[in-house]
Amino acid sequence: MAGLHDYVESLALRTGQGRSTDEAVLTLFMAGILRPRDARNSNELTATHIASVRRVINKWIDSGDRDRDRISRIANDGDYSESALDDAYKEAEKVANRRASKAKITFDRIGAELSGTIPRTRDEIKDAEERSYLSAARLQTPLEGRNDDEMIWDNGLVPLDALMFRDECPACTSRTSHMAGSLIGQREILKSACFCEINRARAIGGAISMLVDSMRDAALEVPTDATAQASVQLIANTAFRFLLRDIRKVSPDQPTSIAACTLFFLHDCSWLRSGAAALMQLSL
Q: What is the pLDDT of residues 125-174, one digit of tens each?
A: 888 888 877 776 666 644 444 444 445 666 667 788 888 888 888 988 88
Please report the DSSP string for 245-276 in residue order. TSS---BTTBTTHHHHHHHHHHS-HHHHHHHH
Residues 6+ apart with CB under 8 A from 256: 23, 26, 60
Q: What is the pLDDT of residue 100?
A: 85
Pick the range with the lowest mean pLDDT from 21-35, 63-77, 188-202: 63-77
Q: What is the pLDDT of residue 62?
A: 84
Residue range 236-249, pLDDT digits in tens: 888 898 888 888 88
Q: What is the pLDDT of residue 259?
A: 92
Q: What span, in angstroms and rounded, lies between the C-alpha atoms of 38 and 57?
A: 20
pTM of the predicted protein model: 0.79
Residues 6+ apart with CB under 8 A from 29: 49, 53, 56, 202, 255, 258
Q: What span, in angstroms and rounded, lies between the C-alpha atoms of 261 and 36?
A: 18
Residue range 71-113, pLDDT digits in tens: 777 776 556 677 877 888 888 888 888 888 888 888 888 888 8
26, containing H or E segment: helix 21-30
